[in-house]
C-alpha cells in the first residue's frame, strides 16, 4: 500500500517550469530519499504535497485517495528554513504548535513532556528559544514536526546544524518513527545519510524525475564490474580482459590493484591471479550514492532499474 502517489505533476512559475510531469510512488512505512541538485525542483514537489503551492497539472493521492486540505494534519513538515518564535518559551511553543495541529491540551502536554525528555531538552523547557544553541533549537523544531504523530513526515535537511551525537539521536528517532508506522520523505544533499537511512530514492534533475527505485536496485543498475584485487606477490593480469582503474600499489600486507572487467567474470580474474600469487582479498567496488548522483546529474548517465524494466 502507498501513502503517496504523485501522478504527472507539473508546476510552472512565471518563466520557469519547476516540475515537469513528475510521477513518484511512496510506499507506506519507508524512508524515501528525495534527491537532486540545487534548483532541481525538490522543494516545489514538497510544497505541492503539503499544499503550500497549487499544481498546474497532475494529481496527488494520499493514503489511497485524492489529497484533501485537511490531510496536512496527518503530515509533519520540517522545512529547510526553520521558523520558530524566538521570544517564546520552549515548552509553551511546542504546546501551542501541537494544538494548532489538532491535539487537545492534555494530549499536547503529555507529548511535550515525552519529547522534551526524549531529546534531552527537559532542563530548557522554560527557557526562551533564543537562549538555546542552534542544535537545541533544531531539536525543538523536530519535536514540533513529529508531536502530532503524522503518518507522513517530510524532512528537509534534518541534520543540518547537528553535531555527530545529536545527528545520530535524530537518525535513531527517524528509524523509530518508521518502525512505529510513519513514512518519511527525506530531502538532503548528504549522501552518507541517504546511504544509511533510505529504503527508496527518487532523483530529480532539471524539473524531471530521472531515477526511482530501491537503493539496492539503483546501486545494482550502476554496478560497473570494478574490483579491488589484493595479492601477496605482485601479479600481472594479461589474459582477463580489463581496464586498469588504479595500478598496482604496495600496501602493508600485499599488493592492491583496481580493475574494471570487460566481458570477463570475477572468477576468471581470480583464476589468473591465483596462478601467480596467494589471493589476500578481492572485493567488488559497488558505487556509492555520491558516485551515482555525480554520474546521473553531471554525466547524464541514467540507468534503468529492474523495477522500471
Q: Which residues bind ligand ATP (CB under 6 A)?
A: 13-14, 16, 18, 36, 38-44
Min. distance of Cβ 126 from ligand ATP in angstroms? 35
Min. distance of Cβ 289 from ligand ATP in angstroms? 16
Element housing 78 (H / E): strand 75-78
Of the candidates 178, 153, 187, which has an alpha carbon nearest to the alpha carbon of residue 40?
A: 187
Q: Which is nearer to ligand ATP, 36 or 287 (CB)?
A: 36
Min. distance of Cβ 63 from ligand ATP in angstroms? 24
Query: Which residue do the cell numbers 539503483 mark?
Result: 218
Q: Which is nearer to ligand ATP, 160 or 268 (CB)?
A: 160
Min. distance of Cβ 14 from ligand ATP in angstroms? 6
Min. distance of Cβ 37 from ligand ATP in angstroms? 7
CA distance 266 to 226: 9
Q: Which one-letter DSSP state was computed for residue 1?
A: -
Min. distance of Cβ 7 from ligand ATP in angstroms? 19
Min. distance of Cβ 93 from ligand ATP in angstroms? 26
Alpha-carbon torsion (87, 90, 96, 102), positive or negative: positive
Is residue 157 a contact partner of residue 80, using CB atoms and an 8 Å limit?
yes
Min. distance of Cβ 114 from ligand ATP in angstroms? 32
Q: Which is nearer to ligand ATP, 116 or 204 (CB)?
A: 204
Q: Which is nearer to ligand ATP, 20 or 228 (CB)?
A: 20
Edge to edge, the sheet with strand 75-78 lists 75-78, 152-156, 183-187, 31-35, 200-205, 208-214
Cell output for 110 = 503529555
Q: Which is nearer to ligand ATP, 9 or 136 (CB)?
A: 9
Q: Which one-letter DSSP state was computed for residue 224?
A: -
Edge to edge, the sheet with strand 2-13 lists 16-27, 2-13, 57-62, 65-66
Helix (H, G, I), strand (E, B) or coil at 104: coil
CA distance 33 to 35: 6
Q: Which is nearer to ligand ATP, 91 or 296 (CB)?
A: 296
Is residue 8 a contact partner of residue 58, using CB atoms and an 8 Å limit?
yes
Q: Which is nearer to ligand ATP, 42 or 151 (CB)?
A: 42
Q: Which is nearer to ligand ATP, 43 or 193 (CB)?
A: 43
Is residue 11 a contact partner of residue 60, using CB atoms and an 8 Å limit?
no
**Phi–psi pair at 180, nearest 5 degrees:** -80, -5
* 176 burial type by CB count under 10 A (0-12 exposed, 13-18 middle, 19+ buried): exposed
Amino acid at each position: 500500500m502507498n501513502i503517496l502517489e504523485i501522478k504527472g505533476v507539473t508546476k510552472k512559475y512565471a518563466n520557469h517550469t519547476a516540475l515537469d510531469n513528475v510521477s513518484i510512488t511512496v510506499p507506506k512505512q519507508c524512508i524515501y530519499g528525495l534527491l537532486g541538485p540545487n534548483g532541481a525542483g525538490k522543494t516545489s514537489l514538497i510544497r505541492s504535497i503539503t499544499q503550500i503551492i497549487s499544481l498546474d497539472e497532475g494529481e496527488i493521492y494520499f493514503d489511497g485517495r485524492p489529497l484533501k486540505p485537511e490531510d496536512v494534519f496527518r503530515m509533519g513538515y520540517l522545512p529547510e528554513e526553520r521558523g520558530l518564535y524566538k521570544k517564546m518559551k520552549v515548552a509553551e511553543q511546542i504546546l501551542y504548535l501541537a494544538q494548532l495541529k489538532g491535539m487537545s491540551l492534555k494530549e499536547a502536554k503529555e507529548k511535550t513532556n515525552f519529547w522534551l525528555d526524549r531529546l534531552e531538552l527537559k532542563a530548557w523547557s522554560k527557557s526562551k528559544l533564543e537562549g538555546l544553541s542552534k542544535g537545541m533549537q533544531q531539536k525543538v523544531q523536530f519535536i514540533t514536526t513529529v508531536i502530532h504523530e503524522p503518518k507522513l513526515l517530510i524532512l528537509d535537511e534534518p541534520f543540518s546544524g547537528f553535531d555527530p551525537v545529536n545527528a545520530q539521536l535524530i537518525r535513531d528517532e527517524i528509524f523509530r518513527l518508521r518502525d512505529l508506522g510513519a513514512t518519511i520523505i527525506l530531502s538532503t544533499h548528504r549522501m552518507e545519510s541517504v546511504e544509511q537511512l533510505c529504503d527508496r530514492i527518487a532523483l530529480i534533475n532539471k524539473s524531471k524525475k530521472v531515477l526511482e527505485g530501491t537503493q539496492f536496485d539503483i546501486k545494482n543498475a550502476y554496478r560497473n564490474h570494478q574490483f579491488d584485487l589484493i595479492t601477496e606477490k605482485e601479479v600481472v593480469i594479461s589474459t582477463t580482459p580489463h581496464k586498469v582503474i588504479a595500478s598496482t600499489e604496495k600496501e602493508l600486507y600485499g599488493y592492491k590493484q583496481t580493475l574494471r572487467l570487460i566481458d570477463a567474470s570475477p572468477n576468471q580474474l581470480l583464476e589468473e591471479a591465483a596462478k601467480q600469487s596467494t589471493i589476500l582479498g578481492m572485493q567488488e567496488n559497488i558505487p556509492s550514492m555520491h558516485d551515482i548522483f555525480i554520474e546521473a546529474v553531471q554525466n547524464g548517465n541514467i540507468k534503468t532499474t529492474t523495477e522500471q524494466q
